[in-house]
């Protein structure tokens, strides 16, 4: 079923127009830049625009979908988004394993610019956070929004615009890095025109969300949607402020951020930390709040706790970015605020994790038997672990040891592998059968395999890097009994080798699991839908607002 | 909370709590009372924060900020700690600033305390060029042999460390191997052959190249090429090389000249640390002063 | 309270407004004062901006992602002062758009790197780190020997000038000549660089070849400038380090 066949003829017209506009935009960029990264990116947009012109144009006179479609949930964009999630999972984690290997074996790949560690590392981070995480957030947000509002997405074009536009942004980003184009701001590396493009995409996303919510048939907005909205809104705010930049020329992928020095550092980590908070946490809590109760068949343990943890997270998180800058040239007072708010932040964080785990009361037998639910359970546990670790690391004296070391990287991956990736897999295994009209995934046993690979890989990765980071931190500050520093820097580099090797192995296990998931989804997509049994509540009739 | 809609609240059989009555695609919520422990945790962490705010610099107020009653300044604290560390080691380290090298070297107990520190300093600052084991590398002389450009006594080494060689330092030692690109090509090849044979002692003293050497090179490298003039020009007979003494490398040397740079350390390391390193380096060549000698 | 929320969650725009307000406060309280409290950055008299060649090197440092492994921020911790030198001042990165403080030390901090090693060492190390440091896990950058593209240099200085970096119009228009000059110690242009940026600027054939301006020239010039744009940081340690 081609996506275009889910559109009416007039929607196809709009889609066709947008595709032409994209191709033209690409053409203007490519022609305006002439050469260099921006020209390549223009060509990419042109090619994508042309492809869409042919896809939509080719299906233009196909039969129109039946009029009843407006009474069904619109899941074709979710399906596409999940596909992109899995593709980016393999790209992003594949590059993760690659850069992990480079740190153990620096000459593993030829010394040509685009395979260099410094260029590939942001390909990994962008690939997993934005490609894998972002697509999963957008795809599941459509799914959750419709079902908890009992309404169809407000229109059929903007979900596609958002997903395709977002993936163009990701593709620009990672191809830019390997060609040497980057603003160097962590998690915000793409150049100015990609940043601008993301703003456009995001505005459409927010509008779609609000318009759909406005048509909901449930008077109350479900918690999951509060979180998805916080994700959309705050990411927009962070993205715009942190990426304010002056292009050197409108024809080149080159700009200077308008912020400098200590203010830039604070703004960067206000952004950077809250990319964690609102990209890697808030949106995924939305996912958790929907898929965990659905899969376990249990009610959310406490509505009141949901309220407090939601507002706690939204309010406290914003304050804590300065814990990335302890002992630096950032004034002490900001560091104190970052530290104290990080500690207070633990309370709403654990409240969310606790609420999720308590929800499983009465469903523990399902956790035992159902690997999909187990993914979500493990995610909640790691969410609790990594936020505890985060609050701990944010305490200044602790940070004096951990900062700059692999302990941070261990913390990052206990959060991203243990929490973010696990909840995504749990959600994927729940929704993919559903939108494929099936009761189960094509290969239920493979989920079990995936689960153990993921848990094993995460533990190997994280434990290795805790050891690595603490060793490193202790070596850097070790004094001998005569009051002199004990180790040279290079000795600490040498001490990392075994841990880096283990991390590569753990990562490879995790990647294998992700590949298994992608194949499983592919196989499930290809199964013929079973006769319609009602899986979801039907659409409601009366808008509530 | 009693206002129901959709469905009437129901009692959950597992927890015994009622639902809120909401129903989103089959999801319900329990109206579980707010867990007290969360309140307590909030209070506890807030009190922690409050204490920190009172004690430490914390809140911006207009164009200023609260200093905290401890009046802490992270820079001062770091400097104080550093000072404490330094006092901890002055007992032995300061002796390297004031005492004679021979006396220091003779004090075995002192050397046992100091050498690990010297090794760490060497690894962090010098090993990048001279190698972990001080065997040098292309362009960087070995320091563990008996062949010296300026001299292997601790005081000479200390001076080298202070000012560097060809370094951006006002008093730097100056050593330049000029380019001899104005020589005939044939002369250069002959010289290169001649010089590369010097270490084996197979150079023909009567060859025209020997005259060329005496005319052009001996001023710096000594009549026999044995160096030792303490002008930065290495011995060409002792087999120790910086750049290489095969004909091709010597040709490069003649064509373009050489001017190796050894950084100056006076701004980066303290007087005592430099002296400590000087002894460490002097000892590397194996002629360690035996304790008690 | 609960009742209030019970009603709030029926209004999508109410939630939107609530989220925006709750999520703005922290950022405003922490960031805005950094622009108005004078003490945050105290600019020393002798602070200079990067020369065009150093700036080009900085762009290469960014392009190659060196910041992924190297910090440029000596924290106020005794062992860091002991190992690396004086703690970094806010002023030292005040002209840096963006700052490159870094968040990971796979390799050592570079804030005090300038003139610690020789140009020749840097070239050798960048082309093949393991040729000089056998245990290194740093990547090789053999392609840095290619010619430096100076096409955008003037525009880059101009853009930074608009953002408040003290480049005067002459510096902007002479950017390319200055980049050439800084790598050709014997040329007239070399003197012009010293005139404009100060006598302490390193003017050398950084890659060992004055005839060709390469990316290596730029990157090494940048590395040699780290920690040397002002002496202010060293003043803080004076008396302590002996
Ligand atoms: C196959 C599994 C993975 C492997 C082998 C892997 C490996 C790596 C490596 C080697 C680094 C660089 C660390 C350094 O510079 O020392 C890194 C950084 C990072 N990775 Fe992963 N990764 C994996 C999965 C993920 C996932 C799924 C996410 C996010 C959803 C993620 C997010 C990040 C982030 C945010 C960083 C930057 C950390 C920092 O700057 O401190 N990774 N990863
Ligand atoms: C209460 C919640 C959390 C707190 C207080 C917290 C705190 C911290 C701290 C103190 C650091 C180290 C900063 C440094 O020394 O450089 C850090 C780094 C990081 N954390 Fe967390 N963390 C929390 C939760 C999480 C979660 C759930 C994730 C992932 C899903 C996460 C992802 C990261 C990342 C990606 C970094 C690395 C940033 C960088 O240097 O590039 N954190 N966090
Ligand atoms: Ca950006
Ligand atoms: Ca980082
Ligand atoms: Cu953080």
C102-144 pLDDT, tens digit per residue, is 999 999 999 999 999 999 999 999 999 999 999 999 999 999 9
Closest ligand by atom to A411 CA = 2
Inside any domain, residue B101: yes
- Are residues C165 and C116 part of one domain? yes
Q: What is the CATH number of the domain that holds B265?
A: 1.10.760.10
Claim to verify: residue A26 and residue A84 sit in the same structural domain: no
Average pLDDT of the segment spanning A405-424: 98
Domain identity same for B116 and B163:
yes
Q: Indicate if A90 and A22 belong to the same structural domain.
A: no
Residues A60 and A88 in one domain: no
Min distance A343 CA to chain B CA atoms (Å): 6
How far, in Å, is the centroid of ligand 3 from the Cα of A284? Answer: 23
How confident is residue B23, by pLDDT bands cut at 50, 70 and 90? confident
- Whether residues C65 and C18 share a domain: the answer is no
| Total count of domains within chain A | 2
Tell me what pLDDT residue B4 has.
41
Looking at residue B229, its pLDDT comes to 84
pLDDT over threshold 60, residue B291: no
Same domain, A56 and A187: no
How many Cβ atoms from other residues are within 10 Å of residue C188's Cβ? 9
**Degrees, nearest 5: CA angle A268-A272-A277:** 145
Over residues A46-51, the mean pLDDT reads 98
Shared domain for C35 and C59, answered yes or no, is: no
- Kindly state whether residue C128 falls inside one of the protein's structural domains: yes
Assess whether C85 and C148 both reside in one domain.
Answer: yes
Residues B97 and B165 in one domain: yes
Domain span at residue A5 reads 1-71
Boundaries of domain holding B251: 185-256
For residue B253, the chain C residues in CB contact (below 8 A) are none
| Listed residues A22, A49, A71: the one ending a domain | A71
Is residue B74 assigned to a domain? Answer: no
Quote the pLDDT of residue A70: 86
How far is Cα A258 from Cα B241, in angstroms, rounded to an integer?
A: 52
Same domain, A49 and A194: no
CA of C104 to the centre of ligand 4 (A): 6
Flag whether pLDDT at B215 surpasses 90. Answer: yes
DSSP of chain C, one letter per residue? -HHHHHHHTT-HHHHHHHHHHHHHHHHHHHHHHHHH-GGG----TT--PPPHHHHHHHHHHHHTTGGGT------S-HHHHHHH-SPPPGGGGTT-SS----SB-SS---TT-TTTS-HHHHHHHHH-HHHH-TT--PPP-GGGGSBP--TTHHHHHHHHHHTT----HHHHHTHHHHHHHHT-TTSHHHHHHHHHH-TTS--S-TTS-TTS-BHHHHHHHHHHHTT-S-SHHHHHHTTT--
- To which residue do tokens 């918690």 refer? A223
Give a yes or no: residue C136 inside a domain.
yes
Residue C46 lies in a domain: no
Is A458 in contact with B90 (CB distance < 8 Å)? no
Tell whether C107 lies on the interface with A, counting CB pairs under 8 A: yes
A156 assigned to some structural domain = yes
The 8-class DSSP code of residue A272 comes to H
Whether C29 and C123 map to the same domain: the answer is no
Q: Among A382, A393, A410, name the best residue to mutate to test ligand 2's pocket (greatest count of ligand atoms within 8 A of Cβ).
A: A393
CB of C105 closer than 6 angstroms to any ligand 1 atom: no
Q: Which of A182, A404, A409, A501 to mutate against chain C (most C CBs within 10 Å)?
A: A404
Residues of A in contact with B78 (CB under 8 A): 327
pLDDT in tens, A88-110: 999 999 999 999 999 999 999 99
- At residue B1, the pLDDT reads 37
Q: Return all residues near A466 (Cβ < 8 A) that are at least 6 apart.
A: A407, A410
- Same domain, residue pair A269 and A418: yes
**Ligand 1 contact via A324 beta carbon (within 6 Å):** no
Looking at the fold, whether C171 and C112 belong to one and the same domain comes out as: yes
What distance in Å separates residue C29's CA from the closest CA in chain A?
Answer: 9
Residue A65 shares a structural domain with residue A41: yes
The mean-pLDDT minimum among A208-217, A529-538, C7-16 falls in A529-538
Residues with CB under 5 A from ligand 4 (ion): C 103
Whether the predicted pLDDT of A521 surpasses 90 = yes
Same domain, B134 and B269: yes
Chain C 79-118, CB below 8 Å of chain B: which residues? Answer: 80-83, 85, 87, 112, 115-118
pLDDT in tens, A292-321: 999 999 999 999 999 999 999 999 999 999
Contacts of B98 (CB under 8 A, 6+ apart): none
Q: Are residues A147 and A113 in the same domain?
A: yes
Residues C75, C19 share a domain: no
* pLDDT tens profile A230-270: 999 999 999 999 999 999 999 999 999 999 999 999 999 99
With respect to residue A56, please indicate whether it lies within any of the assigned structural domains: yes
For the record, the structure tokens of A13 come out as: 């017209």
Q: Do A536 and B25 touch (CB under 8 A)?
A: yes
Q: What is the mean pLDDT of residues A388-397?
A: 98
Is residue A125 lining ligand 1, measured as CB closer than 6 Å? Answer: yes
Going by pLDDT thresholds of 50, 70 and 90, the confidence category of residue A41 is very high
Residue of A nearest to B9 (CA): A299
User: Tell me, what CATH number does C192's domain have?
Assistant: 1.10.760.10
Please, which residues bridge with residue C172 across strands? none
For B127-155, write each residue's pLDDT tens digit.
Answer: 999 999 999 999 999 999 988 999 999 99
Residue C237 included in any domain: yes
| Residue C45, domain member (yes or no) | no
Summarize pLDDT for A323-347 with one digit per residue, the tens. 999 999 999 999 999 999 999 999 9
Banded pLDDT at A2 (limits 50, 70, 90): confident
In a domain, A483, yes or no: yes
In this structure, is residue B31 part of a structural domain? no
Same domain, residue pair C95 and C159: yes
CA atoms within a 13 Å half-sphere pointing along the CA-CB vector of C197:
31
Give me the number of domains chain B comprises: 3
Query: In which domain, by residue range, is C16 found?
Result: 2-40
Shared domain check, A226 and A160 = yes
**A81 and A61 co-located in one domain:** no
The response to whether residue C7 sits with its C-beta less than 6 Å from ligand 1 reads no
Asked if the structure places residue A63 within a domain, the reply is yes
Residue A543: per-residue pLDDT: 57
Write out pLDDT tens, residues C185-230. 999 999 999 999 999 999 999 999 999 999 999 999 999 999 999 9
Residue B152 included in any domain:
yes
The pLDDT, as a whole number, for residue A373 is 97
Residues B267, B163 share a domain: yes
Residue A417 pLDDT > 50, yes or no?
yes
Q: Are residues A109 and A239 in the same domain?
A: yes
- How much is the average pLDDT of A194-214? 97
Is B169 found in the same domain as B95?
A: yes
Q: For chain C, what is the domain count? A: 2
Looking at A41, A71, A101, the residue that finishes a domain is A71
Query: Does residue B18 sit within a domain?
Result: no
Same-domain pairing of A39 and A102: no
pTM > 0.90: yes or no: yes
């Amino acid at each position: 079923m081609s996506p275009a066949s889910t559109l009416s003829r007039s929607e196809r017209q709009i889609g066709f127009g947008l595709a032409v506009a994209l191709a033209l935009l690409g053409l203007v960029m490519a022609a305006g830049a002439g050469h260099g990264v921006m020209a390549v990116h223009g060509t990419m947009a042109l090619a994508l625009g042309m492809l869409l012109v042919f896809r939509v144009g080719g299906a233009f006179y196909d039969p129109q979908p039946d009029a009843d479609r407006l009474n069904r949930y619109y899941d074709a964009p979710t399906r596409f988004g999940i596909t992109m999630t899995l593709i980016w999972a393999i790209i992003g984690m594949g590059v993760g394993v690659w850069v992990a290997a480079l740190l153990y074996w620096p000459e593993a790949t030829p010394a040509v610019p685009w395979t260099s560690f410094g260029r590939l590392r942001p390909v990994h981070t962008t690939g997993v956070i934005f490609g894998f995480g972002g697509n999963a957030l957008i795809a599941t947000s459509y799914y959750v929004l419709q079902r908890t509002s009992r309404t169809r997405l407000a229109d059929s074009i903007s979900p596609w615009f958002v997903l395709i536009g977002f993936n163009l942004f990701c593709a620009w980003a990672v191809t830019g890095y390997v060609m040497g184009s980057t603003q160097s701001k962590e998690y915000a590396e793409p150049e100015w025109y990609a940043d601008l493009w993301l703003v456009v995409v995001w505005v459409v996303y927010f509008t779609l969300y609000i318009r759909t919510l406005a048509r909901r048939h449930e008077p109350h907005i479900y918690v999951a949607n509060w979180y998805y909205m916080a994700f959309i809104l705050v990411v927009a705010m962070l993205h715009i402020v942190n990426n304010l930049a002056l292009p050197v020329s409108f024809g080149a992928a080159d700009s200077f951020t308008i912020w400098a020095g200590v203010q830039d550092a604070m703004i960067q980590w206000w952004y950077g930390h809250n990319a964690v908070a609102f990209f890697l946490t808030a949106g995924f809590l939305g996912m958790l709040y929907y898929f965990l109760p659905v899969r376990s068949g249990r009610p959310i343990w406490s509505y009141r706790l949901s309220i407090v943890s939601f507002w706690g997270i939204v309010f406290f998180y914003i304050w804590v970015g300065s814990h990335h800058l302890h002992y630096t040239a950032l004034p002490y007072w900001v560091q104190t605020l970052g530290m104290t708010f990080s500690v207070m932040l633990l309370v709403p964080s654990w409240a969310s994790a606790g609420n999720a785990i308590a929800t499983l009361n009465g469903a523990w037998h399902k956790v035992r038997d159902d690997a999909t639910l187990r993914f979500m359970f493990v995610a909640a546990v790691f969410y609790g672990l990594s936020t505890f670790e985060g609050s701990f690391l944010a305490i200044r004296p602790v940070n004096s040891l951990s900062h700059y070391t692999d302990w941070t990287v261990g913390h990052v991956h206990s959060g991203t592998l243990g929490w973010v990736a696990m909840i995504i897999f749990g959600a994927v295994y729940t929704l993919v059968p559903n939108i494929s009209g099936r009761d189960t995934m094509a290969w239920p046993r493979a989920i079990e395999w995936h689960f153990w690979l993921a848990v094993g890989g995460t533990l190997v990765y994280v434990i290795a890097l805790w050891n690595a980071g603490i060793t490193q931190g202790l070596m850097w500050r070790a004094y001998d009994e005569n009051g002199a520093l004990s180790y040279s820097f290079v000795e600490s580099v040498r001490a990392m080798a075994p841990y880096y090797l283990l991390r590569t192995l753990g990562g490879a296990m995790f990647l294998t699991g992700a590949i298994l998931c992608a194949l499983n989804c592919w196989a499930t997509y290809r199964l013929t839908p079973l006769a319609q049994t009602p899986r979801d509540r039907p659409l409601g009739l009366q808008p509530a607002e | 909370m009693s206002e129901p809609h959709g469905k009437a609240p129901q009692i959950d059989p597992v927890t015994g709590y009622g639902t809120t009555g909401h129903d989103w695609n089959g999801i319900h919520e329990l109206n579980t009372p707010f867990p007290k422990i969360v309140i307590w945790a909030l209070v506890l962490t807030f009190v922690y924060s409050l204490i920190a705010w009172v004690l430490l610099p914390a809140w911006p107020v207009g164009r200023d900020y609260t200093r905290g009653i401890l009046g802490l300044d992270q820079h001062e604290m770091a400097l104080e700690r550093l000072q404490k560390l330094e006092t901890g080691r002055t007992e032995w380290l300061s002796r390297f600033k004031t005492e004679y090298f021979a006396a220091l070297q003779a004090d075995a107990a002192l050397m046992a305390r100091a050498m690990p520190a010297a090794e760490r300093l060497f690894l962090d600052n010098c090993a990048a060029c001279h190698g972990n084991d001080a065997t040098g590398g292309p362009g960087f002389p070995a320091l563990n042999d008996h062949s010296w450009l300026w001299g292997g006594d601790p005081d000479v080494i200390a001076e080298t460390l202070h000012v560097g060689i060809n370094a951006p330092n006002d008093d730097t030692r100056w050593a330049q191997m000029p380019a001899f690109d104005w020589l005939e090509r044939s002369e250069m090849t002959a010289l290169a052959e001649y010089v590369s044979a010097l270490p084996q002692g197979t150079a023909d003293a009567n060859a025209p190249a020997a005259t060329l050497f005496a005319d052009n090179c001996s001023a710096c490298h000594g009549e026999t090429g044995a160096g030792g003039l303490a002008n930065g020009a290495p011995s060409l007979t002792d087999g120790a090389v910086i750049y290489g003494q095969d004909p091709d490398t010597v040709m490069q040397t003649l064509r373009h000249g050489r001017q190796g740079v050894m950084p100056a350390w006076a701004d980066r390391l303290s007087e005592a640390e430099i002296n400590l390193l000087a002894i460490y380096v002097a000892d590397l060549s194996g002629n360690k002063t035996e304790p008690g000698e | 309270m609960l009742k209030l929320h019970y009603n709030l969650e029926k209004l999508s725009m109410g939630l939107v407004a609530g989220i925006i307000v709750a999520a703005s406060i922290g950022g405003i309280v922490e960031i805005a004062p950094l622009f108005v409290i004078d003490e945050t950055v105290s600019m020393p008299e002798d602070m200079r901006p990067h020369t065009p060649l150093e700036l080009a090197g900085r762009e290469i440092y960014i392009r190659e992602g060196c910041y992924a492994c190297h910090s440029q921020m000596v924290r106020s911790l005794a062992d860091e002062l002991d190992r690396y030198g004086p703690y970094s001042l806010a002023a030292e990165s005040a002209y840096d758009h963006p700052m490159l403080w870094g968040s990971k030390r796979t390799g050592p901090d570079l804030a005090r790197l300038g003139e610690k090693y020789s140009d020749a060492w840097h070239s050798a190390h960048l082309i093949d780190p393991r040729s000089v440091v056998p245990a290194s896990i740093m990547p090789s950058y053999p392609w840095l020997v290619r010619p430096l593209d100076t096409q955008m240099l003037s525009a880059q200085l101009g853009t930074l000038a608009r953002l408040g970096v003290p480049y005067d119009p002459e510096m902007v228009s002479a950017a390319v000549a200055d980049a050439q000059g800084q790598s050709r110690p014997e040329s007239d242009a070399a003197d012009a660089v010293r005139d404009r940026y100060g006598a302490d600027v390193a003017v050398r054939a950084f890659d060992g070849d004055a005839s060709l301006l390469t990316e290596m020239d730029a990157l090494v010039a940048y590395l040699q400038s780290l920690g040397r744009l002002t002496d202010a940081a060293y003043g803080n340690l004076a008396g302590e380090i002996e």
